[in-house]
Structure 1
Amino acid sequence: MDTSESSTSDSATTGDSAPGQSVAPGPAGPAPRRGWRRWAMDTRPLRRPAYRRLWSSTIVTAVGSQLTAVAVPKQIYDITGSSAWVGYASLAGLVPMVVFALWGGAIADVVDRRKLLLVTNSGIAVTSVLFWLQAAGGVDSVAVLMVLLALQQAFFGLNSPARNASIARLVPAEELAAANALGSTVMQTGLVAGPLLAGALIPVVGLPELYLIDALALCVTVWAVLRLPALPPPAGAAARRAGVRQIAEGFRYISGHKVLLLSFLADIVAMVLGMPRALFPQLAAETYAPWGEGLALGLLFAAIPIGAVLGGLFSGTFSRARRHGLMVIGAVVAWGAAVTGFGLSGNLWLAVVFLAAAGVADMVSMVFRGAILLSAATDEMRGRMQGVFTVVVAGGPRLADVLHGTAGSAFGPRAAVAGGGLLVVTVMLALAAAVPALRRYRI
């Protein structure tokens, strides 16, 4: 372990404030929770007004953003009648999101993060208004939709690193895991409720109104950010420019800190090797056809986020753990084991149980990987760490779609899923054994 990593890990291990932590001391810690309350979600971060405002805005936008996420591909398919164009649109949104997430991370380290959030949230809201105008005006242009989608994802890429990096300035280090659990639970709930609400509203109000609802929800986010305290960069950081050199510095920082590097690799291993969603349609049509293809497909896609929501609701069982590195390792291994069980399941309901268990493991992994990124990095690097995190989270499942789709065609879907899950377990345990920094990390 090199010197820079040792200093970071030592600070975390002793329980001192994380590097760059500047949040004011909060209320005295609550008495130990008794009975069922010790299992329920840890809500300590919500007692801090600034974090509560940021989190409350997420409740609205988590659902609203999914309305647009459903409306865009639906409108493109209505115009073209082609699923290929829906796929091209996804790529049109991915590229600018990746580019601007990396750049946005560098920007977030040299400007007031509150101001950056105001600009980018306003940009996302304006884009949603433009989506509404083109749909209400009957433009019916795929090119316009793809340009607007690229613009929206560029703003999202700029916004996400600043938003995530700001959490460490709003809550103390010992509450980072709980804050991540609160935020992740809301986002996963949006992944379940948003599409269901969109499906119910489209026949009633139509596509234009879905865009408008999202735009109005984003106004709540802008209002919440307006009420945040100033989040200026560390002394001296404002004099730097956010360019390619600063982005490269972020990657060098990751490579020099084994805990951070392993936290990214853990997510890549879990998502690339073990995310089987590309095989859900084939499994629904072949393996689970006796239960009804439509029912099976819906359950397969819903099971993981439902499991994640349940994990968040009962996050009091794990969010106070201090061995963050071991929690990540255990969660990734549990994800791989659950995916393996899903691949071996010929019964739909058993398959759903395994996928829901994988969702719980994914929530645990998200909570502690997020906490590590905020506690093990200095404040002047947090934006860039969150930029890379955004790229990994968005890109991993898309690489998994390619890998699992190819493996499913070659070996059959169930073998591909089970094999991927076993690879996750094997590779994660090998990494943990080879590089002890992650399993030793604690706050």
Structure 2
Amino acid sequence: MMRAFIDLRPLRVSPAFRRLWTGQMLSTFGGQLAFVAVMFQVWDETSSAAWTGAVGLSKALPMILLGLFAGAAVDRFERRRFYLITTTGQLVTAGLMASQLIIGSVPVGVLLGLVAAQASFGAASGPVARTVLPQLLPRDLLASGIALNRIAFQGPMLVGPAVGGLVVSAWGTGVCYLIDCLSFVAALYGVLGLPRLRVEAVARAGLREVRDGLAFLVATPVIRGALITDLAATVLAMPVSLFPVINAEKFGNDPRTLGLFLTAIAVGGVAASVLSGAFTRLPRHRVVMLTGSAAWGVALVLFAFAPTPWLALVFLALAGAADTVSVVSRSTIIQLHTPNELLGRVTAAEQIVGQAGPDLGNLRGGVVSQLTSPVASLASGAILCLVAVAAVAASTPGLRQPAPEEQLVD
């Protein structure tokens, strides 16, 4: 039974990883508080859903426009120094947002500009954060390290928004921004504990290097299949945009139920992370990823037809758990099969897929719901997800077999 719990050995064997992991968890928590504060401030000043939607756009555009170039830069420069620069940039922008405690609220356009600036530094820090793991941990602990990173992300996601709402209510948005700024001090402390992380540098971080990274991705069936599987799960079967209308049509439009829908996915994800030893120790990361993606689709089909709110919450929790299994396994596959000199560019592509896919999936769900019905939109997307996962598995034999390095961990 103990083997089912999350493997904590990476925290014991690598002080640098432990320090970095702690800083990342604290900065993620601060980021959740800041997001709640931004949304509240924008709505309070504009009373416009279009402006609150612009918050997501200001975060997504830098990721899409700069992500691949940032990945090439990660493969070009010494990674510890690059990580320090990007984390310091996030700290500075968080400090500028916190300065509203002194100068008062800034115009919405300025606030969104700061959000976009911080997201630009985040577009660069995301790939470099992924590349350091193989240099801090032995290969047999990579999956466990990725699972620990996952729980460092999901834990703050579970409690951060609620805490952010309480802080805004009690002390205002400026205190949330201040906490976010302080959390980046913790992140910077974690990065300072890293050793020098040298790479075989590419000539320059330009279009040619981006093209080389994409060419490797396309030419490597296992990595290509892993990313396509993630796109299938998120673009075809992302349910979040349908939560309000499903709650209204099936469950009486109770706002408490709507909030629990979002929480249920996070609860399932955290539970899967806590019990991640059950799958990170398995020898077949590829098969585990396919199984997790298929289970996501099945759980969402069941959610679409759930007759009661509590049963719907159970299926959403199962979906959240399946998502974590898939994400951890996919990241492990990419880390194990990408040469160090290409890791920045490939993980940048993974980051774009992981963040843009859900946005596109929510858009697809809303459009199809308008043309059909919410249940039809969700159920059809989940079924298409299952078909796509089966097609990827059938067309990529390497995903159905363990690689030589995917050995069972004692």
Q: What TM-score do the two structures reach when normalised by structure 1? A: 0.89
Count of aligned positions? 403
Q: Which amino acid aligns with 1:410?
A: L
What is the aligned counterpart of 2:398 among 431, 434, 437?
A: 437
**RMSD, aligned α-carbons:** 1.2
1:133 matched residue in structure 2: 99
Give deviations 1:387-425, integer Å, cap 9, x for gaps. 111111110011011100011112211121111111111
Give deviations 1:359-396, integer Å, cap 9, x for gaps. 11111111111111111000000000111111111100
Structure 2 residue runs of 5 or longer lacking an equivalent are none
Q: Which amino acid aligns with 1:38?
A: R
2:295 matched residue in structure 1: 334
SS in 1 for 2:7: coil
**Percent sequence identity over matched residues?**
35
2:318 is the alignment partner of 1:357:
yes
Q: What TM-score do the two structures reach when normalised by structure 2? A: 0.96
CA distance in 1, matches of 2:216, 2:378: 34
SS in 1 for 2:380: helix
CA distance in 2, matches of 1:145, 1:285: 33
2:231 matched residue in structure 1: 268
Q: Which amino acid aligns with 1:89?
A: V
What is the aligned counterpart of 2:6 among 41, 58, 63?
A: 41
2:153 is the alignment partner of 1:153:
no
Q: Which amino acid aligns with 2:61?
A: V
What is the aligned counterpart of 1:209 among 156, 164, 175?
A: 175
Give deviations 1:335-359, integer Å, cap 9, x for gaps. 1000110011121111110010011
Structure 1 residue runs of 5 or longer lacking an equivalent are 1-35
SS in 2 for 1:355: helix
CA distance in 1, matches of 2:234, 2:308: 24
Further displaced range: 48-57 or 206-215: 48-57
CA distance in 1, matches of 2:357, 2:309: 26
1:300 matched residue in structure 2: 261
Q: 1:218-229, aligned counterparts within 5 Å?
A: 218-229=184-195
How far 1:135 sits from its partner (Å)?
A: 5.5
2:252 is the alignment partner of 1:286:
no
Q: Which amino acid aligns with 1:51?
A: F
CA distance in 1, matches of 2:189, 2:128: 17
Q: Which amino acid aligns with 1:268?
A: L
2:203 matched residue in structure 1: 240
Q: Which amino acid aligns with 2:40?
A: K
1:176 matched residue in structure 2: 142
How far 1:100 sits from its partner (Å)?
A: 2.1
CA distance in 1, matches of 2:59, 2:317: 28
Runs of 4+ in 1 over 3 A off after TM superposition: none
1:163 matched residue in structure 2: 129
Question: Does structure 2 conserve the Cα–Cα contact (< 8 Å) formed by 1:276 and 1:417?
Answer: yes
1:253 matched residue in structure 2: 216
How far 1:53 sits from its partner (Å)?
A: 1.2
Q: Which amino acid aligns with 2:108?
A: V
1:103 matched residue in structure 2: 69
Question: Does structure 2 conserve the Cα–Cα contact (< 8 Å) formed by 1:324 and 1:372?
Answer: yes
2:373 is the alignment partner of 1:412:
yes
